[in-house]
Chain A
Amino acid sequence: MKRRNFLQALLALLGSISFASFVYPLVRFLAPPSAEAKARKVTLQKNEVPVGGAKNIVVNNSPAIVINRAGKGFIAFSKVCTHLGCLVEYDKDNNRLVCPCHAGIYDLEGNVLSGPPPKPLPKLPLRVEGDNIVIG
């Protein structure tokens, strides 16, 4: 084979491989995420969380808490403090959530009352269906 033809064939081969090495990532890039989108829901019975009380659960591998607020109903939060990531605890007597690491204090809407947390405590979507509470 003449040198020129060989070089042209080689170029075509390398070019196709390069093209494929961009097309494959592009296809994966654009494809919709599969399992991640389906967040698993957690279902509880209403009577597992008495009025004024709370229950710890795990939603999507992350610790969370469901609180039954007197007069205001159920609410669910992520327990991860927005300061440095410690897990907050429910202070029943004072109707607030307290972080044991640096005294970040949140009210029962998730708003920061005092301390270093920069953002409110993230709320989790919660629905009441009959006798059940569904979180996630």
Chain B
Amino acid sequence: MEALDKTGIDISAVRKQFPILSQSVNGRTLIYFDNGATTQKPQRVINAIVEYYSSYNSNIHRGVHTLSQVATRKYDAARATVSSFINAVDPSWVIFTKGTTDSINLIATCYGNKFVNEGDEILITSMEHHSNILPWQELCHRKKAVLKVLPVDDNGVLKYEELDALLTSRTKLFACAHVSNTLGTVNDVKRLVDAAHTKNIPVLIDGAQAVPHLKVDMMELNADFYCFSGHKMYGPTGIGVLYANEKWLDVFDVYQSGGGTIRLVTFDKTEYAEGPHKFEAGTPNIEGAIALAEAVNFMQETGIPNLSRYEHELLEHATARLNEIAEVKIIGTAPCKAGVISFNVGNIHPFDIGTLLDKQGIAVRTGHHCTQPLMQCYGIQGTVRMSFAVYNTKEEIDVFIDALKKAIKILS
């Protein structure tokens, strides 16, 4: 293979870093196109976890002994690495959580409990993942508030023209995906944040599917809350980030209480810590945070503009090849997309396509992708979804197309 193609990616060198890519499935070399569900991990991320437990595992922020101090330094450094990766205003605005779902639940609880009352409105969009619908739905049930939805057009683009009317004097928060996990649509989040802010409405952005594929800049975006997951960006499971403007963190009540969140505890009352520690109760996922920082290092050394450009080429190649097959219908044809192609083949059930692709060593996801309301909008049961990462190749896409044609033949 060519070293350093015009996107600046040496694909051979990238793939060598991922040990799982040499796995076989059903007698074929694995072709992993399910990165929207979770990504594979480079050896350096795996090594970071092994090194943590082999060399310096210790509880953090609590000890005077050496191992504890090493672990604490590494954990705090991980927060700084993530902060710099997303161009946060300050590392103290970066809270480590269990993932995007946990982050959204934290805001739905802390912001919702304090600021949302009967008759208030929460605005989401029809392309949201269940994790960015259910916490708000629960909040609205609890507080007798109203859940409103910004619709999506047939191409999978938000109906921006309807936004102004949906941001009312009762709107208490607007929650929206940066990139759709089903359609691949990249939303103009800056435009959404600015529109909400002119009406003093705070915004939460679900960045789970954006951070692996695009440069994100918290200072430029100025969202109140931005959430993402480590395991979708080459990091481990069980760790994620909630980026939150400190003006909110200062006024929120604690989310989960317990050790690590406090300054002083008596049986009568407790004084809580400031900043992120107030929201990181108990022993955190220490190795997860450290390994997440290693995933950030991997992405930054690969070069985020490089991987964006490369993945865009993969997306274009896959789209063109899929469009060669007459029965294929791509769901989500927004002009600006990242990482994901959903499609259906005539009346064939996506489950059948996915099963026969698996027989040929190809991993895709089928079904509603945790976006049932979106499926209902489009009147479909589900789709087959290909989702890319930086280690995928055009050759893999070509093998996939042949396998898809074979599956279609068997099912017709």
User: Do they bind each other?
Assistant: no
Q: Give B contacts to A, CB under 8 Å.
A: none
